[in-house]
Amino acid sequence: MDTNKRPDTMERITTKELADKFIAEQIAQVKAQVGNKKVLLALSGGVDSSVVAALLIKAIGKQLVCVHVNHGLMRKGESEAVVELFRNQLDANLVYVDATDRFLGLLEGVCAPEEKRKIIGGEFIRVFEEEARKFDDIDFLAQGTIYPDILESDGVKAHHNVGGLPEDLQFELVEPVKLLYKDEVRVVGKALGLPEAMVDRQPFPGPGLGVRCLGAITRDRLHALREADAILREEFDICGLSKTVWQYFIAVPDMKSVGVKDDKRYEGWPAIIRAVNTKDAMTATIEEIPYEVLHKITNRITAEVDGINRVLLDLTPKPVGTIEWE
């Protein structure tokens, strides 16, 4: 039997009852697979890795070692939320690595999007490898692989996990949600008691804000992007758009224009709003944002975020524009 193929008889998980049944089955399977050995998990704070972490904590408790690498390109408050939930509330065995300086140092002066992605992905694996080597008693690697990953990559999921670990660090895989679709993972997450903000978290690229701080990343522009993005997310929560829009974010390009502040001319960056809806990320449509919401977001960003003096709205569907700018 192909363990990477979802059985035709498998019911779609849509209710708490079905999720509870799935959780109980997975806990039994994980216990049987792992025994009393340790499991390592790269915990990004995304939906998939968070649900896997919560499920494994229920199954094997402190035998799970979660490693959260903060590459300095997370959204505002995200790393803090991971530590608060998993270490403080769920009492997880959590290793927190603040590698901000290391990542931003490597990215200094790098403009090409593909090069930025390679640096961020490669360095993430190196940091994770260093942490993994600190333990000599880990036999398993848990991953937040979900069914679309298997369908898209023919069984190999390399971009978003720790698929590039060296030969001497090959672990046996634990992938409890690999036969689930994203909407099912969210139902399971809610049944596990994870907060809605984490379970309903919108997709976030592996390189994080690194591909939204367009061109060469500087700390001041990255800080402005993070603050502007937090305002956009807050206002979408207030007006309810966060419930109907699949993905929304700010991009800040490496260019300045003249503006006026305190009756003086000053140069600042533009913040570009991107808000799209999609079923499969292959195509995307533009979400209507009421003008009063746009005005409020603009007023807040230009008043509260140092260095940003214009707010723009990207109205380009996919095709012709990709969802991310880089």
Please spell the DSSP secondary structure of 33-94, one letter per residue: HHTT-EEEEE--SSHHHHHHHHHHHHHHGGGEEEEEEE-S-SPTTHHHHHIIIIIIIS--EE
Indicate whether 281 and 229 sit together in one domain: yes
Between 324 and 200, the higher pLDDT residue: 324
Indicate whether 192 and 253 sit together in one domain: no
Residue 2 confidence (pLDDT) above 80:
no
Indicate whether 139 and 275 sit together in one domain: no
Residue 298, domain member (yes or no): yes
Indicate whether 49 and 179 sit together in one domain: yes
Residue 18 confidence (pLDDT) above 70:
yes
Q: Note if the pTM is more than 0.85.
A: yes
Residue 228 confidence (pLDDT) above 90:
yes
Q: What is the pLDDT of residues 242-286, one digit of tens each?
A: 999 999 999 999 999 999 888 889 899 999 999 999 887 789 999
Using a pLDDT cut of 90, give the percent of the chain over it. Answer: 83
Burial zone of 45 (CB within 10 Å; 0-12 exposed, 13-18 middle, 19+ buried): buried
Q: Measure CA 92 to chain center.
A: 19
Indicate whether 47 and 141 sit together in one domain: yes
Residue 133, domain member (yes or no): yes
Indicate whether 161 and 26 sit together in one domain: yes
Domain boundary among 129, 164, 199: 199
Indicate whether 178 and 234 sit together in one domain: no
Q: What pLDDT shows up at residue 158?
A: 42
Contacts 24+ apart (CB under 8 A), 165-168: 165/125, 165/128, 165/129, 165/132, 165/141, 166/129
Residue 48, domain member (yes or no): yes
Q: What are phi and psi of 265, to 5 degrees?
A: -75, 140
Q: What is the mean pLDDT of residues 296-302?
A: 98
Indicate whether 220 and 250 sit together in one domain: yes
Type of residue numbered 256: K
Residue 201 confidence (pLDDT) above 80:
yes
Mean pLDDT of the chain: 93
Domain boundary among 143, 178, 199: 199
Q: What pLDDT shows up at residue 161?
A: 46
Indicate whether 174 and 216 sit together in one domain: no
What CATH number is associated with residue 90?
3.40.50.620
Mean pLDDT check: name the lowest of 90-99, 111-120, 129-138, 227-236. 129-138
Q: What pLDDT shows up at residue 159?
A: 41
Residue 207, domain member (yes or no): no
What CATH number is associated with residue 261?
3.30.300.10
Q: What is the pLDDT of residues 133-183, one digit of tens each?
A: 999 889 999 999 999 888 876 544 444 445 677 777 779 999 999 999 999
- If one counts every other C-beta atom within 10 angstroms of the C-beta of residue 221, the result is 21
Q: What is the mean pLDDT of residues 221-241?
A: 97
Residue 230, domain member (yes or no): yes
Bridge partners of 274? 249
Indicate whether 287 and 145 sit together in one domain: no
Helix (H, G, I), strand (E, B) or coil at 187: helix
Residue 171, domain member (yes or no): yes
Residue 204, domain member (yes or no): no
Domain boundary among 164, 199, 234: 199
Q: What pLDDT shows up at residue 136?
A: 85
Domain with 298 in it? 212-313
State the total domains in the chain. Answer: 2
Q: What pLDDT shows up at residue 157?
A: 42
Q: What is the pLDDT of residues 87-96, one digit of tens each?
A: 999 999 999 9
Indicate whether 94 and 146 sit together in one domain: yes
Q: What is the mean pLDDT of residues 294-299?
A: 98
Q: What is the pLDDT of residues 52-81, one digit of tens each?
A: 999 999 999 999 999 999 999 999 999 999
Residue 143, domain member (yes or no): yes
Indicate whether 174 and 127 sit together in one domain: yes
